[in-house]
Structure 1
Amino acid sequence: MASDPKNFVFEDVVKHNKTKDCWLIINGKVYDVTPFMEDHPGGDEVLLAATGKDATDDFEDVGHSDDARDMMHKYYIGEVDRATVPKKRTYVAPADRSYNPDKTSDFIVKILQFVVPLVILGLAFAVRSYTKEKSA
């Protein structure tokens, strides 16, 4: 561990978001993982993707080994003031809009919502008529 741990505010930690200068926040602690960038088993992209936020969930979701957790001590440089860390945002879908992943225009979506059931119904009648003719 660092001999003189410091207290950081979130805004200062998130400035360290490059391969040659990378800090992470995990469980309220700040780690300078710059020396570990080339050695990280998941690659430096994984570490860079965890900058600019509280990376605790990212770290825990991977299921790091005890050895990995022990290794963290040498990168520890201080604590983050948790009051300065933004609250996690959760996505809230608009109530009046249906899910539209490919951004198709609303007009097209409404037409398809009307036309597709009619086409299916038409096919059902066609199949029914065809099977009646074959059996007669």
Structure 2
Amino acid sequence: MAKTFTWAEVSRHNTNKDCWLLINGKVYDVTKFLGEHPGGEDVLVFATGKDSTPEFEEVGHSATAKKRMEEFYLGDIDTSTGEHIPSVPPPEKLQTNTFERQIMQFFLPLIVLIIALALALRFYTR
């Protein structure tokens, strides 16, 4: 019989040292998988604190990936408590993501420009 967790229990596991996800009503402890995730660990940590089903389904995970999830399965969410489970990230996560996005929007073009200048300089000095 599967263990059941309240949303309050699940939502406390929201860091890269302790990361639980709620997908399709099932609770997964993906902490040990963070370093292996093809999309990076930040994607999974960002998915905590809400129902991650829409994002999981949107990506279109392979059958192999879905099968592998079984090794991280802890139990089911207890829906009888009537707890509200957010479907969007908490505001503090949105702010962090926005700040990180702003940094990337500045540095990524700068890095590309530096590489392009270095290649042009190398090409023209030969």
Give the structure-1-normalised TM-score. Answer: 0.59
Separation of aligned partners in 2, 1:75 and 1:10: 18
Separation of aligned partners in 1, 2:67 and 2:60: 14
Gaps of 5+ in 2: 89-126
Separation of aligned partners in 2, 1:44 and 1:10: 22
Please identify the structure whose Cα radius of gyration is greater: 1
Aligned to 1:84: 83
Separation of aligned partners in 1, 2:84 and 2:71: 23
Gaps of 5+ in 1: 90-136
Retained in 2: the 8 A contact 1:31–1:78? Answer: yes
Q: Which of 8, 23, 26 pairs up with 1:26? A: 23
Aligned to 1:106: none
Look up the equivalent residue of 1:49 and give its one-letter code: F
Give the structure-2-normalised TM-score. Answer: 0.64
Deviation at 1:87, TM superposition (A): 5.6
Equivalences, count: 86
Higher helix share: 2
Separation of aligned partners in 1, 2:54 and 2:33: 20
Aligned to 1:9: 6
Look up the equivalent residue of 2:39 and give its one-letter code: G
Q: CA RMSD in A?
A: 1.5
Aligned to 1:45: 42
